[in-house]
Structure 1
Amino acid sequence: MDKNELISLFHRELRHEAQTQGYIREETEHVVRHISKFGEKGFIIASNVNKDNAREIIKNELNYFSNRKQDFEWKVYSYDKPDSLKDILEQEGFKIDNPEALMVMKLADRHPLLTNNQFLGVKEITDEQGIQDIVVLENTIWNEPHAELGEKLWRDKQNNPDSLYLYGIYEDGQLVSAAWMYLEINSSFASLWGGSTLPSFRGNGYYTKLLAVRAQKAYEKGHPFLTVDASPMSRPILEKCGFTCLAYSYGCQSPTTK
């Protein structure tokens, strides 16, 4: 499967047709939007706009979410049209996050991640306390609150336990590295999240351990494609493991509606 075929598969399964736990999917002529059932931030995952109608549609979506008193993210990928979409969103008041690399890989028998058995210290997290440990870890690393993330992870794990798998590595009772994975609904993809390690514990191969354990679970459950929006720190590790960069993604955060 070449790069364009991978992009097409990703776009169809994880953007245009995607279903997300805890959200109501709505499709119009111009956007695919997801409305949170729990008052969290919504998002637009795909759009069909052009230079002539983009600003009108953006204003319509701002009004739509504002009427629901819900902030939202408009996710833009570097292959989206028009090429200026991200710039137009910024001109309309959206805050543009730093770009992340869209990394995708197809797993096959005997892939090194599937034969890796170096899981000493890796623990599957299934309880609320473990998820709270993840929140504390993320708060510490990023110096910002992640309580809403914790609530979502715990809710999703309770409501659909076979679609979310969380893993961590503890040292002396403290969670020092963690990552999780969603097996996407009606999709061949598993999406990877987290992969955060406390600075003093980096360089010990924890990221690769957590990557391998998730890859094996995804493959076991019939999801051969892995995808992750990677930071510059994670991308080199992912490339060594066989991931390909398909594009760059930008989270475009709406002006506050609350």
Structure 2
Amino acid sequence: MDTAEALALFDDQLRRNAPPESPTTRIDKGAGVVRQVGAGAHEWCGVAWSDLDEATADAAVAAQLEWLRGPEAAGREFEWKTYSHDRPADLGMRLRAAGFEPADPETLMVAEISEVAALTRGAELPAGVRLEPVVDAAGVDLAATVHEQAFGTSAERLRARMLDQVRDRADTVSIVVAMAGDVPVCSARMEFVPGTAFAGLWGGGTVREWRGKGIYRALVAHRARIAAARGYRYLQVDASDDSRPILGRLGFSALSVTTPYLITAPA
């Protein structure tokens, strides 16, 4: 894979010209910044892309803070999603100075689906574990439960997001839960971005006692097959430190480091 080409395509298709995440999402472009604004409180709201330099960055940050003081943003969490290849190089410092707080960084990893398919050929679930597609609220609850157990964080907003997806735009998402008998032990989803070369892998959380048994690898293989059948070229992941080495063995390359900078608008 040509990593420079893949990164340029990622920036163009999933950041600068990204389609709205949902039917109720609005995209605002201007002054070197692309902002997405979801209508619901659980929908993503923030800066997806910026093209700034030392002379323009502070004004762009100030413009977002001004928007956050308006009635549309009242009380909402706002994320400026930065990447290590963004400019200026001190953008993160400028955001912190403006009141944004950094969350944990993750590694942007991308792979050619054909290579992932080749490297995961034969990947199987352990005995007694099966995959169940998530198609309704009951399945969403199982997936959210796994997320909370695997990552130790609330899945309240994720649950609302997944409910919207399976109800209103099932053609853009594939969510599965790995079940051991009646117990959910892993969940993962894939989001298709229409009109682009990318399908995104999200979640992939396994409860602690079931880790190291090949479930995560099997779910990557499962999603790669689905994405290939739908004609996508790349898989994209924001990888944690735990998943990065596994994904590296499955054909993924690290292209950048992404750090969310968060702020809550005044109520």
Q: Same fold (TM over 0.5)?
A: yes
Shift of 1:39: 2.5
Shift of 1:57: 1.4
Larger deviation: 51-60 or 111-120? Answer: 111-120
Structure 1 102/110 Cα, relative in aligned 2: closer, same or farther at 3 Å?
closer
Answering whether residue 263 of structure 2 is matched by residue 254 of structure 1, we say: yes
Larger deviation: 209-218 or 127-136? Answer: 127-136
Q: Which residue of 1 aligns with 2:56?
A: 53
Q: Which residue of 1 aligns with 2:39?
A: 37
- Do the aligned residues in 2 keep the contact of 1:42 with 1:72 (CA within 8 Å)? yes
- Do the aligned residues in 1 keep the contact of 2:117 with 2:225 (CA within 8 Å)? no
Q: Which residue of 2 aligns with 1:130?
A: 139
Specify every segment of 5 or more residues in structure 1 that has no aligned partner in the other structure, as ranges: none
CA distance in 1, matches of 2:69, 2:141: 31
CA distance in 1, matches of 2:212, 2:18: 35
- Do the aligned residues in 2 keep the contact of 1:93 with 1:255 (CA within 8 Å)? no
SS at match of 1:123: strand
Among candidates 241, 244, 262, match of residue 235 of structure 1 = 244
- Do the aligned residues in 1 keep the contact of 2:120 with 2:217 (CA within 8 Å)? no
- Do the aligned residues in 2 keep the contact of 1:180 with 1:193 (CA within 8 Å)? yes
Answering whether residue 111 of structure 2 is matched by residue 108 of structure 1, we say: no
RMSD of aligned alpha carbons: 1.7
CA distance in 1, matches of 2:98, 2:264: 9
Residue correspondences, number: 258
Shift of 1:144: 2.7
Structure 1 39/109 Cα, relative in aligned 2: closer, same or farther at 3 Å?
closer
Q: Deviations over 1:35-67 (max 9, x none)?
A: 011133401100122222212211210121331
Structure 1 6/66 Cα, relative in aligned 2: closer, same or farther at 3 Å?
same
- Do the aligned residues in 1 keep the contact of 2:116 with 2:221 (CA within 8 Å)? no
Structure 1 110/9 Cα, relative in aligned 2: closer, same or farther at 3 Å?
closer
Q: Which residue of 2 aligns with 1:12?
A: 12
TM-score (norm 2): 0.91
Specify every segment of 5 or more residues in structure 2 that has no aligned partner in the other structure, as ranges: none
Moved over 3 A (4+): 113-117
Shift of 1:113: 5.1
TM-score (norm 1): 0.94
Q: Which amino acid aligns with 1:25?
A: I
Shift of 1:140: 2.4
CA distance in 2, matches of 1:109, 1:140: 31
Structure 1 18/83 Cα, relative in aligned 2: closer, same or farther at 3 Å?
same
SS at match of 2:164: helix
Q: Deviations over 1:88-137 (max 9, x none)?
A: 11111111011111000012279325643625612222121011111122
SS at match of 1:121: strand
Q: Which residue of 1 aligns with 2:194?
A: 185
Q: Which residue of 1 aligns with 2:96?
A: 90
SS at match of 2:194: coil
Percent identity for Structure 1 against Structure 2: 27
Q: Which residue of 2 aligns with 1:218?
A: 227
Larger deviation: 41-50 or 3-12? Answer: 41-50
